[in-house]
């Protein structure tokens, strides 16, 4: 069986007959499924670096992990000898990189072999298994493998189903992907509060178990809304009608990959929020609260998502009003601006550390950082995803939507590699390095703007 429900090619009648706040009802089920999937994913992710550096990689525990000696030898053969913190960061970077690399193949399977619905369900089941395996130290590597494979099957196909609800010229597509990314942040906000709190205060495995339960809830929601989702076109005749690559499509694919390479610079900086940033919070920031309380490290990950949720309606309102004046920035301009916002956010971390000197960094610096990050995220993540969904050829649409996560693949690995400099250069210069990375992303979009507009048939809006 194979799906041909591509944007602009036809949408299941049931999926389009019911409305959800002006959108097909299928968007609601996809968004809620994604929210719970992200709850499970970010719940585990909020704990992962702290779990590895503070517990799993310590003597007396690491010997229990099946296959870890071989993994460490392989990593250090490539990256050199690493400290415990650097090793944890590099494993995290590789894990995140692979999580966002395999959706390319998962999207291809959804496009050409098993259909998107089946790919999403198989992927969700694999992720649930992976989360529950995290409860056992010995099964750490098989657990990560299950999470990587499961995410690969789920991510590209679920995101592509959003695009398949709309025609190519439907102006609701951008707001649909913003809704989808908002659902991501709902799950990402709740996850650290639940899984992070359980893991930090009651035991790592309670946090991982809660993540697994969240994934099971996501599966139930997805199945309950199956009739509102785009069709996987199971008939033999539909397979014969599968979209074919057209002249010029290969060029579009190549140019989209160039754009995704630029977004990798953004994701290199963004991924550090889940990698070295928690270690910085733990060691350098005064997290004390009145009445002798201390703000948990994982709650800052919740703040990262909460600020996105607070800013999302404001940003969408701003864009709507700009559009009424024909002044809304184009997709490329938004991406360039978003990278610039993130550069400023990292500058705040560096400035806060420098002003603190030998003392602890006041908590208002990382809080301000997250508010700026929220604007950066909203100007880059949903916009780039919608752009890829709209511009990618119909014949490989899900695969290219899966390829969107190539930026996160490269960014994850790059963030792990950059983490090795945290201890040698210190936090001030470490965060300045990330300022330069984000600025490079913004400048690259501006310089290549003409090529993107010409090849991908984008609106010629100002680049900044």
pLDDT band for 241, please (50, 70, 90 cuts).
Answer: low
CA 160 to chain centre: 15
- 197-213: per-residue pLDDT in tens? 898 888 888 998 999 99
Of residues 53 and 269, the one with the higher pLDDT is 269
- Asked whether residue 153 is assigned to any structural domain, the reply reads yes
What pLDDT score does 432 carry?
97
What pLDDT score does 53 carry?
86
- Asked whether residue 464 is assigned to any structural domain, the reply reads no
What pLDDT score does 4 carry?
32
Given a cut of 60, whether residue 369 has pLDDT beyond it is yes
Write the DSSP assignment of 385-444 as a string of letters.
HHHHHHHS-GGGHHHHHHHTTHHHHHHHHHHHHHGGGHHHH-HHHHHHHHHHHHHHHHHH
Average pLDDT in the chain: 84
Whether the Cβ atoms of residue 211 and residue 41 lie closer than 8 Å to each other: yes
* Vertex 81: Cα angle to 77 and 82 (nearest 5): 120
Write the DSSP assignment of 189-219 as a string of letters.
HHHIIIIIHHHHHT-HHHHHHHHHHHHHHHH
What pLDDT score does 248 carry?
78
Of residues 112 and 278, the one with the higher pLDDT is 278
* Vertex 377: Cα angle to 372 and 379 (nearest 5): 100
pLDDT band for 12, please (50, 70, 90 cuts).
Answer: very low
Instruction: Measure Cα distances from 444 to 155, 265, 347 in Å.
Output: 27, 10, 20
What pLDDT score does 242 carry?
65
Based on the structure, what is the number of domains in the chain? 1
State the residue range of the domain holding 411: 13-456
User: What is the mean predicted confidence (pLDDT) over 221-226?
Assistant: 88
What pLDDT score does 49 carry?
87
The model's pTM is: 0.76
Of residues 66 and 116, the one with the higher pLDDT is 66
* Torsion (CA) 332, 333, 336, 339 in degrees, nearest 10: -110
What pLDDT score does 183 carry?
85
Half-sphere exposure of 1 (CA within 13 A, CB side): 14
pLDDT band for 106, please (50, 70, 90 cuts).
Answer: confident
Of 7-21, 297-311, 378-392, the one with minimum mean pLDDT is: 7-21
Question: What are the two backbone dihedrals, phi and then psi, of residue 202, each rounded to the nearest 5 degrees?
Answer: -120, -15
Given a cut of 60, whether residue 387 has pLDDT beyond it is yes
Whether the Cβ atoms of residue 137 and residue 56 lie closer than 8 Å to each other: yes
* Torsion (CA) 346, 414, 75, 65 in degrees, nearest 10: 60
User: What is the mean predicted confidence (pLDDT) over 189-200?
Assistant: 88
DSSP letter at 135? T
Given a cut of 60, whether residue 169 has pLDDT beyond it is yes
Given a cut of 70, whether residue 372 has pLDDT beyond it is yes
SS3 category, 60: coil
Most confident of 20-34, 105-119, 321-335, 384-398: 321-335
Q: Is the dihedral of CA 365, 368, 372, 374 positive or negative?
A: positive
pLDDT band for 18, please (50, 70, 90 cuts).
Answer: low
What pLDDT score does 255 carry?
92
User: What CATH number has the domain bearing residue 97?
Assistant: 1.20.1250.20
Distance CA 346, CA 359 (A): 19
What pLDDT score does 186 carry?
85
Distance CA 43, CA 198 (A): 10
Q: Return the percentage of the chain with pLDDT > 70, whole number.
A: 90
- 48-93: per-residue pLDDT in tens? 888 898 889 888 889 989 999 999 999 999 888 888 888 998 999 8
Backbone conformation region of residue 87, classed left if phi is above 0, alpha if psi is from -120 to 50, else beta? alpha
């Amino acid at each position: 069986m194979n799906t041909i429900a591509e944007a602009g090619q036809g949408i299941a009648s049931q999926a389009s007959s019911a409305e959800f706040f002006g959108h097909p009802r299928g968007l609601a089920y996809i968004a809620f499924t994604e929210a719970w999937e992200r709850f499970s994913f970010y719940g585990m992710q909020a704990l992962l670096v702290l779990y590895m550096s503070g517990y799993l990689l310590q003597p007396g525990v690491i010997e229990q992990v099946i296959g870890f000696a071989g993994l460490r030898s392989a990593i250090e053969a490539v990256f050199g000898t690493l400290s415990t913190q650097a090793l944890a960061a590099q494993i995290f970077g590789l894990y995140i990189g692979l999580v966002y690399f395999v959706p390319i193949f998962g999207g291809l399977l959804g496009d050409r072999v098993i259909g998107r619905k089946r790919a999403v369900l198989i992927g969700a089941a694999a992720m649930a298994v992976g989360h529950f395996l995290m409860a056992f130290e010995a099964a750490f590597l098989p657990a990560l493998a299950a999470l990587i494979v499961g995410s690969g099957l789920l991510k590209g196909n679920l995101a592509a189903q959003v695009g398949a609800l709309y025609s190519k010229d439907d102006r609701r597509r951008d707001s649909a992907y913003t809704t989808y990314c908002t659902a991501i942040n709902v799950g990402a906000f709740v996850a650290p509060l639940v899984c992070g709190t359980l893991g930090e205060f009651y035991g790592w495995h309670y946090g991982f178990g809660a993540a697994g339960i969240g994934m099971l809830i996501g599966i139930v929601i997805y199945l309950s809304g199956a009739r509102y989702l785009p069709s996987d076109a199971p008939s033999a005749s539909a397979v014969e009608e599968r979209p074919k690559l057209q002249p010029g499509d290969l060029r579009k694919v190549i140019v989209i990959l160039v754009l995704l390479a630029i977004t990798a610079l953004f994701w290199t900086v963004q991924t550090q929020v889940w990698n070295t940033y928690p270690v910085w919070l733990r060691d350098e920031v005064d997290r004390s609260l009145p009445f002798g309380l201390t703000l948990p490290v994982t709650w800052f990950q919740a703040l990262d998502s909460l600020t996105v949720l607070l800013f999302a309606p404001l940003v969408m309102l701003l864009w709507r009003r700009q559009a009424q004046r024909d002044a809304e920035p184009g997709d490329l301009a938004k991406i360039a601006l978003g990278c610039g916002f993130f550069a400023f956010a990292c500058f705040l971390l560096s400035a806060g550390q420098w002003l603190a000197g030998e003392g602890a960094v006041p908590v208002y610096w990382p809080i301000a950082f997250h508010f700026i990050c929220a604007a950066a995220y909203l100007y880059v993540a949903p916009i780039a995803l919608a752009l890829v969904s709209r511009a990618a050829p119909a014949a490989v649409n899900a695969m290219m939507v899966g390829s969107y996560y190539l930026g996160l693949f490269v960014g994850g690995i790059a963030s792990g590699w950059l983490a090795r400099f945290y201890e040698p250069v210190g936090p001030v210069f470490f965060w300045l390095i990330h300022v330069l990375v984000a600025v490079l992303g913004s400048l690259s979009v501006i310089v290549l703007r003409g090529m993107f507009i010409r090849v991908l048939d984008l609106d010629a809006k100002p680049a900044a």
